[in-house]
Structure 1
């Protein structure tokens, strides 16, 4: 994961290192008020040849659904098969700071997901929802094939909604294996209620620190994000310890496990290479 606490000028060497090292996916965020998820994804895709780039997440209160569809459809046309889009509520206090907070985040997310998936499918969309209002909107350049749309969040109501209306779920950071297990059950219930079958990917992230001061750095970063440093939601240690953690999260139901460096990671490029060369070979 390239976290937005890293300055934008560090993205190019990190993306190229991920591409060269054979990393499967590079994830970027859109945190207020750091970096644009779409801009960073586009740059990372342009600088690389094969690595898959995922945006987790775009906060829907900040973004009109037609704009999200236009921007990400462009990415899918430029870099087919290499993009994953995630949308979600965003942090409510940040949405308030930006003047974009809504009374019913669940309603907005449902309306956004339904409209976005229809636009990606090439439909002409007219909707007069509580928040999403479109009048005959149709993408001139939709993706060649309708791509999956992931949605992120926490809490049973949001997770059930992602099962009902999204094609994959991105769990909020700091989710332990037990939280992953419970989330997977809630998502499955939502899909069953909506009559949806097939696979539904579940993405979880682990806060990771390695090196001689790993415990201190991890604890400080967890506190910065208001996560419990003692919770089984992070790992500090060597490659074997991190690989074992990935196995635990996968066994709990995560189909993708993203490794998140701390904000004070001294060498993000070396972190990427360490994940590829030392951690991944030990993951069962």
Structure 2
């Protein structure tokens, strides 16, 4: 079955999060995803609050930009979330937007090397291993978590280009694709991820979850809002991106992504969505029943 989620966009002030979480929990939303976009809201702080305000809903962070984070801190925070809220936190890491990384003096000369080193160390620390690492970017001297998670913690990687997709297959437990990914793009990404998994000797029977965001607009002015957001991102000429309309239209777009290889589809409202709580309710109560 396809998992269906929704995004709390960081264009909203953080004090709005509690009401959105409350509605998501009330209507049975499966997953609520948060972003650590510069310079808006911290991913771990908002995830911890959302997990504390809910009892069942899974909370995803997609993505934590690795240039901003020492891997030991990411591991400590991720482990704490999983011990306090077992099985409900979803961790995703990625390159981060390079212009933003430059603004804070954290831009890496080789983002791919940094992400690879971070993934390897993060997954090992979360497994409870003790590490000494002298990499190009990640350096650890006899580091282990005092409070590792009680069980396995999947770590997802955000990826777009072929090299990062192959790295995600080789070194991550799942892949997060942006809303600029069409169904054909999902098929291509899945193929490249599998190439990376095979090259790294990963067990073909191991699950590798593919998560994709779907830019979604519903209600009055939906088509105009969708067009405006795609134009602002320079994507108006790309076919197959986003959906505007009622629950049936959105469910059909979700099905196309699922058939292309997505395990989880996360509905991403436009940045000017007028009713974030209503969007979550729409996702769970109207779209979910129409998605296999």
Q: TM-score, normalised by structure 2?
A: 0.95
1:69-107 Cα deviation digits (max 9, x unpaired) = 011111011100101100000011111111100110000
Displacement of 1:227 in angstroms is: 2.7
Separation in structure 1 between the aligned mates of residue 23 and residue 137 of structure 2, nearest angstrom: 41
User: Contact 1:207–1:235 (CA<8 Å) still a contact in 2?
Assistant: yes
Unaligned runs of 5+ in 1: none
User: Contact 1:55–1:86 (CA<8 Å) still a contact in 2?
Assistant: yes
Separation in structure 2 between the aligned mates of residue 229 and residue 27 of structure 1, nearest angstrom: 27
- 1:279 corresponds to: 287
Displacement of 1:229 in angstroms is: 6.0
- SS in structure 1 opposite 2:262? coil
Q: What is the total number of aligned residue pairs between the two structures?
A: 284
* 1:192 pairs with 2:198: yes
User: Contact 2:179–2:242 (CA<8 Å) still a contact in 1?
Assistant: no
Separation in structure 1 between the aligned mates of residue 52 and residue 168 of structure 2, nearest angstrom: 30
Unaligned runs of 5+ in 2: 1-6
Displacement of 1:9 in angstroms is: 1.1
Separation in structure 2 between the aligned mates of residue 226 and residue 97 of structure 1, nearest angstrom: 22
- 2:102 corresponds to: 96
- 1:242 corresponds to: 250
* 1:7 pairs with 2:13: yes
User: Contact 1:235–1:245 (CA<8 Å) still a contact in 2?
Assistant: yes
Displacement of 1:203 in angstroms is: 0.4
Q: TM-score, normalised by structure 1?
A: 0.98
> Aligned-pair RMSD on alpha carbons?
0.9
Separation in structure 1 between the aligned mates of residue 255 and residue 179 of structure 2, nearest angstrom: 17
Q: How does 1:134-283 map to 2 (within 5 A)?
A: 134-197=140-203, 198-228=206-236, 231-283=239-291
Separation in structure 2 between the aligned mates of residue 12 and residue 231 of structure 1, nearest angstrom: 35
Separation in structure 1 between the aligned mates of residue 100 and residue 209 of structure 2, nearest angstrom: 27
1:145-188 Cα deviation digits (max 9, x unpaired) = 13010000210000000000000000122100000000000000
Separation in structure 1 between the aligned mates of residue 208 and residue 131 of structure 2, nearest angstrom: 25
Q: How does 1:107-118 map to 2 (within 5 A)?
A: 107-118=113-124
Higher relative contact order (CA 8 A, sep 6+): 2
**Higher alpha-carbon deviation: 232-241 or 214-223:** 214-223
